[in-house]
Amino acid sequence: MGNFVKVGMADYKIARAPNKLITTGLGSCIGICLCDTRSRIGAMAHIMLPSGELSRGHTHNQAKFADTALEMVLGELNKDGINANRLIAKIAGGAQMFKFLGESDIMKIGLRNVQAVEENLKKHNIKMVAKDVGGNVGRTIVFDPATGELLIKTLGDGERVI
Amino acid sequence: MVYIGDLSNMQLDALQEIGNIGAGNAATALAQLINSKIEMNVPRVKILPFDTVPDLVGGADRHIIGVYLNVGGSVSSNILFMLPIEQAVVLVDLLMGKGIGETRPDNLGDLELSAMREMGNIIAATYLNALSVFTRLTLVPSVPALAMDMAGSVLDAILAKFGEVADHVLLLETCFKKDDHNVVGHFFMLPEPEALDTILSALGVNN
């Protein structure tokens, strides 16, 4: 039996089968899952914001932005000899948890995150094979690098595997 | 703009004190609403990395209800009142004059959620009013918004706003406890980074 490698907010981890990657309570944040099922190695990033260009002031952790987090993960995988063109991607999150907030940033951040993640995957020629995004539900996700299966657990909307 | 990592102990103490004034009034308001004794711990100022914030309410996957208000005026800020679901339903019963146990997480309807939202609104308004009187700053809350889900998912869009300027967030935290000593709710104020200067000036502790 493998272990569960926990990925926190604004963090990323690499794991080899039989270990699995887990992140809990995604709202507007997005879990980006990458894997190369041939070498049974996978990665998960838990991003909060669309772009490192938003960064100002004292931001040193680049794993919180979609674009820079993806570059960091690809750099790590590259050290293991895995190129972007061998990877498949699955993503989950990008929800809008609060209602009645009008046009505030908090309403739009989930959607902006989804768009940014999709654009950046495309930029690196990574094929996105499945997604479970949007809505107004929180998600806990478990990613299995052995199979590429992504389990999505919610409180009000059941469980599913994509 | 003052960086939260550079705040002096005196400045942190001053922020803690305004948290104390606000929370004391808010606890009284909550006690009156549910006609039950409410105790609170001493409010604390915390500077935390984002991923540890959900731990304050029991972890990122904890099922909670969160009532959020955006605060405008001379100080931009965020108010979040988070309640574990099993405590939230007790408060709903008390608020609506039902027997304890009548409301359950699986039968929370629009009316019950509306009552929760209004309770959050009253507590937040009381807190802000006390702060406003003390600091002479204008604090204007938005209409309250409610979310019911995992703690991490409810917090992350709010924390994301702070992610643009820092890797940490400063928050004022108070726990409200009912007579049986269960935590009924966690009350947070998260001032926007640029608002800290204004608050510290109003308190006379800007450098």
H helices present in B66-109, as ranges: 85-95
Residue range B57-76, pLDDT digits in tens: 989 999 999 999 999 888 88
Q: Min CA distance, B202 vs chain A (Å)? A: 23
Yes or no: is domain A4-161 CATH 3.30.1330.200?
Answer: yes
Which one, of A129, A12, A31, A130, lies nearest residue A75 by Cα? A12
Mention the CATH class of domain B4-202: alpha beta
Q: How many angstroms separate the CA of residue A82 from the nearest CA in chain B? A: 29
Q: What is the pLDDT of residue B180?
A: 66
Residue-range domain boundaries for chain B:
4-202
In the chain, the amino acid numbered A2 is: G
Tell me the average pLDDT of chain B. Answer: 88
Task: State yes or no: pLDDT of A106 exceeds 80.
Answer: no
Q: What is the pLDDT of residues B165-207, one digit of tens each?
A: 888 899 999 888 887 667 788 999 999 888 888 888 888 887 6
Alpha helices in A48-104, H assignment, sequence order: 66-79
Residue A97: which of B147, B166, B193 has the nearest Cβ?
B147
ipTM: 0.89
Determine contact, residues B78/B192, Cβ cutoff 8 Å.
yes
User: Which listed residue (A29, A87, A109, A142) is catalytic?
Assistant: A29
| Chains A, B: CB pairs < 8 Å | 130
**B97 pLDDT tier (thresholds 50, 70, 90):** confident
CB of B120 closer than 8 Å to CB of B143: no
Between CA B23 and CA B143 the distance in angstroms is 20
Confidence class of residue A30 from pLDDT cuts 50, 70 and 90?
very high
A39 and A82 in contact (C-beta within 8 Å)? yes
Structure tokens at B37: 């004794």
Q: CA–CA separation, B188 vs B199, rounded Å?
A: 16
Contacts of A13 in chain B (CB under 8 A): none
Check: CB of residue B166 under 8 Å from CB of residue B193: yes
Kindly state the average pLDDT of the residues B81-97. 89
Each as own residue / partner, the long-range contacts of residues A70-73 (CB below 8 Å, 24 or more positions apart, any chain) are A70/A32, A70/A45, A70/A117, A70/A120, A70/A121, A70/A124, A72/A12, A72/A45, A73/A12, A73/A14, A73/A32, A73/A34, A73/A43, A73/A45
Dist. CA B21–CA B16, nearest whole Å: 9
- Confidence class for position B153, pLDDT limits 50, 70, 90: very high
Reported as a single tens digit per residue, the pLDDT across A38-52 is 888 999 999 999 988
Q: Which of residues 26-45 of B touch A (CB under 8 A)?
A: none
